[in-house]
């Protein structure tokens, strides 16, 4: 997030099926996963955006599964999955200029 802020932008948060579809059209090649600013670190099972706003993400099949303390959300092959927050992932920023 601080990298986005240094560019006067915000971390891109993806939560809906339409947003996922739009993003995958924009960025066709996902070599691994993309961090999308979701977390349930504060309260297990209560997912929020990086700014604290509650969300109900469009999860992939069998997700979130919290296999190994997976408290962050990522976009992985056209759906949202939970993943450990310690992973170093690509992330996207967005900037709105008026």
pLDDT digit string, tens, across residues 42-66: 999 999 988 899 998 889 999 999 9
Q: How confident is the model at residue 27 (pLDDT cuts 50, 70, 90)?
A: low
Domain of residue 79, CATH code: 3.10.100.10
Q: What's the domain range around 59? A: 2-94
- The rounded distance, in Å, linking the Cα atoms of 84 and 3 is 20
Radius of gyration of the chain, Cα coordinates, nearest whole angstrom: 13
- Section 3-30 average pLDDT: 78
Provide the mean pLDDT of the chain: 84
- Section 15-26 average pLDDT: 79
Of 24, 27, 19, nearest to 49 by C-alpha is 19
What's the structural domain count of the chain? 1
- Section 31-46 average pLDDT: 87
- The rounded distance, in Å, linking the Cα atoms of 66 and 82 is 7
**Would you say residue 16 has pLDDT above 80?**
yes
């Amino acid at each position: 997030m601080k990298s986005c802020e240094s560019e006067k932008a915000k971390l891109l948060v993806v939560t809906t099926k339409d947003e996922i579809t739009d993003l995958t059209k924009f960025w066709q090649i996902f070599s691994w996963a993309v961090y999308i600013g979701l977390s349930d670190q504060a309260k297990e099972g209560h997912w929020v955006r990086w700014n604290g706003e509650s969300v109900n993400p469009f999860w992939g099949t069998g997700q979130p599964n919290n296999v190994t303390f997976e408290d962050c959300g990522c976009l992985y092959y056209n759906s949202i999955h939970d993943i450990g927050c310690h992973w170093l992932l690509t992330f996207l920023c967005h900037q709105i200029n008026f």
